[in-house]
Amino acid sequence: MFARKRPLTRPHNHGPSHDQDLDDPVSRQDRRGSYDYFRRQPWLSRIMLHLRLSKDDPLAWLMLVFVVSFLMAGATLIDRDVFHGSTSGPAAVTAMRNSSIAVEKTWKSWSPFTFTLENTTETHPRSTIHTLQSIHPKLRPTSSSSIPRDKHGLRVLTLDQEFKAREHPIATLIREAEKKADQLDAKISSIRTLSDAEADYRSAFGMEPPRGFRKWYEFASKRSCITAPSLLSEAHLSVRPYLAYKPSLLRQRMDELVEKNKGTWYFDLGKRQGLGSDRRNKIQIGGGAVGDFRAHDVFELINPILPYIPDQLAGEDDLRLVFSVHDGPMAQSDWSLMDISRELAEAGLVWDETTLAAKEEQQQRHAYGWSMVCDPDSHLSRASKDRILNHEVAQNTSSLTEKSFIEDHVATYDYCHNPSLSKQHGMLIVNDRGPSPMVPVISYCKTTHNNDIMGVALDAMNKTLPAMAWKEKTIDKVVWRGSFTGAFHGEQFHWRNSQRERMVTLANNREDHMMDVLVQQGRKLKRKEYSLESLNERFLDIEPVGGAVQVSSEPRVGSNCQLTAAFSGPSFTCFMGAHLFASSHPKVCDQMLEEFTFGDMMTPETALKYKYTVDIDGNGWSSRFRRLLTSSSVILKSTIFPEWNSDILIPWYHYVPLKVDYSDLYDIMVYFAGSPDGQVKGHDDQAARIAQRGRAFAVDRWRWEDMQSYMLLTILEYQRVLSRDRQALDVSQIQDDVHARWKEMS
């Protein structure tokens, strides 16, 4: 069923103390402990993985009944002894452990569907069993606030809680962000040596660092980059599912993808040709002009770090790095396939090709749309079923009786649990994406559910705006100028719901409509109504530029509409599907010109005078984010795309997170800038500090060297995935192992 690799034998400590047995339920005093011990056993994990793909095998279910009965009886014994005062608890735990070893031996010898042991030189990295939640625990400060959280990244405040609250929720979030920043600084400072970095990697990801890790640490530490790999988690986590696939299969798929030239380009890094400027001759570029300039930028980024990449092992082909040219993510797979792939990777197993082929064929037949990447119990999956069964979707709209603000920005990107995003973001509005084979491709942009490996986006990364003192910023408003990218404008699309169109419509609304805004007066919170017109006039300077773009039809002669060639050529059809331009909708161009008033571009000098700038997604990630952070203005960031440095980019500390539906926009502006009528004072000093910290982050933590460090670590992870010996260690690591064992023996 699965191919099992070399035994995962290297022990490593995952806790703070060598004296504490973290596998011992007695030491935890937690009723879940007796079950957690068995959940982490590789043999049990393999049984459950087999059952997920052998649902019709009666012998599998018979064995499951035996195992479950054994576990329930043993766990009950431990719970009774441990949690009801019996002194036989430790003995019961020991007996259960001995019995678990017996079960594993029985399973291996008796089971007619034992995991396949393949005669191959491909080996898997040493790992331990983890859930994704335990792999990368976020730095979350414990809050004493009475303001509740929900599990999808928002801090929610009901009317009843507003009446009792003594502090504005934004003030609470800012204070907690400052605590998180202190924790982050302490974490960064704690990594003083290579051993610290290696221990941080093992603790975060449950396996040994990839070959070349010592060289990465040398590069990062000399340039004052982040040396805690847990704070660059995308370098590992976006690559991790590919550890469940044989390297030979991945290489084959990469070659096929490149031959078809589906919006990709690649680097071949030779193992013997040297590491000099002749690398440029090894680059083959595909994807047109977009691929050309992006390939050049990435070459300039990674060329200096090539000496830090280890040579390929004997007998292995050149290392090939495949990149996507697209603004947005390239690939996605069915939730079940990805979930099993992660479990296999965590258990030290790889897919058997026959089983994988059957699973992927099933995916191609049945999986469709954005909901296919979601857990079947998620909100979006249930909404999709409602659409099929009832011809309508259960909307997850915000209640009129509560206010909410973003606490965990990355959690809000998850459209599976925030299904309203599927009606509010241009990329998700077009719900026609099917599954893609698992191919390791490095992309500039991905959602939390795509297969893409997170790279670094270099567009506009060399632009740093001049510093301007806060007191010199004379315009106390939010500014935005941009084109209507982010949506494809045709009658078959709900393009008016896209993120940029909605922002422009909201900001230029002059109807006699009242909005209630949360304000703090003294030690009390209350809601106060203001007209939408007065709020927009006081706070917003939002205008589109560039006319109607990305219109899915040929415009009328003389019309100010643009059907951009880049979106009708091969690179576009690979991204979203060739059928998008199959029909003609000449009305759309006229509708856009009638509904929107287009302004002129604003000079950088003028834009710097605004205290606030909103950053909104386009076709993919916003390439202007780093540049805007350097403006010394407060950046209101609305997005569904994580950044490569999201682990160290702190909302409410470096920038202000803005919900995609913009329902928090006016509450945020009144908090910082005061009410339109001047009766409620704002917190201008807090805004100034956020702006200052945002610029400092861009200058100190988003440098060229920081991006090189992240890409080097990503390439090392990528190289391991494609290596036949995934357990290969650096010579220095082997020497350390020998030295440690020698000390133990002596």
Place of tokens 């896209």: 498
Across residues 508-519, what is the average pLDDT? 89
DSSP 725: B
Residue 45 confidence (pLDDT): 59
Asked whether residue 176 carries a pLDDT value surpassing 80, the answer given is: yes
Q: Quick count: other Cβ atoms within 10 Å of Cβ 278?
A: 10
Two structure tokens written together for 232: 């660059």
Residue 221 confidence (pLDDT): 98
* Single-letter residue type at 495: W
pLDDT-derived band at 587 (thresholds 50, 70, 90) equals confident
Across residues 270-287, what is the average pLDDT? 47
User: Closest Cα to residue 450, out of 370, 383, 366?
Assistant: 370
Task: Give, in degrees to the nearest 5, the angle at Cα 457 between 456 and 458.
Answer: 110
Asked whether residue 275 carries a pLDDT value surpassing 70, the answer given is: no
- The string of pLDDT tens digits covering residues 636-668 is 999 999 999 999 999 999 999 999 999 999 999
Across residues 572-593, what is the average pLDDT? 49
Asked whether residue 493 carries a pLDDT value surpassing 90, the answer given is: no
324: phi then psi, degrees, rounded to nearest 5: -95, 145
Asked whether residue 223 carries a pLDDT value surpassing 70, the answer given is: yes
Across residues 194-209, what is the average pLDDT? 97
Pairwise pLDDT comparison (297 vs 114), residue with the higher score: 297
Q: Quick count: other Cβ atoms within 10 Å of Cβ 599?
A: 13
Asked whether residue 471 carries a pLDDT value surpassing 50, the answer given is: yes
List CB contacts of 116: < 8 A, sequence separation 6 or more. Answer: 1, 2, 3, 4, 352
Q: What is the pTM of this model?
A: 0.79
Cα dihedral across residues 61, 63, 66, 71: positive or negative: negative
Asked whether residue 274 carries a pLDDT value surpassing 90, the answer given is: no
Residue 29 confidence (pLDDT): 34
List CB contacts of 581: < 8 A, sequence separation 6 or more. Answer: 552, 553, 568
Asked whether residue 557 carries a pLDDT value surpassing 50, the answer given is: no
pLDDT-derived band at 568 (thresholds 50, 70, 90) equals very low
Pairwise pLDDT comparison (86 vs 497), residue with the higher score: 497
Pairwise pLDDT comparison (276 vs 448), residue with the higher score: 448
Which has the minimum average pLDDT: 77-81, 97-101, 544-548, 575-579?
Answer: 575-579
User: Closest Cα to residue 320, out of 262, 261, 258?
Assistant: 258
Residue 54 confidence (pLDDT): 58
Residue 595 confidence (pLDDT): 86
Asked whether residue 400 carries a pLDDT value surpassing 60, the answer given is: no
Across residues 715-719, what is the average pLDDT? 98
Asked whether residue 575 carries a pLDDT value surpassing 50, the answer given is: no
Query: Could you state, in order of their start, the residue ranges of all structural domains in the chain?
Result: 2-13+20-110, 548-583
Asked whether residue 112 carries a pLDDT value surpassing 70, the answer given is: no
List CB contacts of 622: < 8 A, sequence separation 6 or more. Answer: 615, 616, 637, 639
Cα dihedral across residues 58, 59, 60, 61: positive or negative: positive
Q: What is the mean pLDDT of the chain?
A: 77
In the sheet that holds 540-544, the strands lie side by side as 540-544, 475-482, 610-616, 634-638, 656-657
Across residues 245-266, what is the average pLDDT? 88
Pairwise pLDDT comparison (186 vs 131), residue with the higher score: 186
Question: How long is the chain?
Answer: 746
Across residues 297-326, what is the average pLDDT? 90
Which has the minimum average pLDDT: 27-41, 502-516, 698-712?
Answer: 27-41
Asked whether residue 7 carries a pLDDT value surpassing 70, the answer given is: no
Alpha carbon dihedral 434, 440, 442, 447, in 10-degree steps, equals 40
Pairwise pLDDT comparison (15 vs 45), residue with the higher score: 45
Across residues 539-554, what is the average pLDDT? 82
Which has the minimum average pLDDT: 151-160, 399-408, 431-440, 573-582?
Answer: 573-582
Residue 430 confidence (pLDDT): 81
Which has the minimum average pLDDT: 79-83, 468-472, 477-481?
Answer: 79-83
Which has the minimum average pLDDT: 217-231, 446-460, 540-554?
Answer: 540-554
Pairwise pLDDT comparison (47 vs 251), residue with the higher score: 251
Helix (H, G, I), strand (E, B) or coil at 180: helix
Which has the minimum average pLDDT: 132-141, 620-629, 735-744?
Answer: 132-141
Pairwise pLDDT comparison (552 vs 333), residue with the higher score: 333
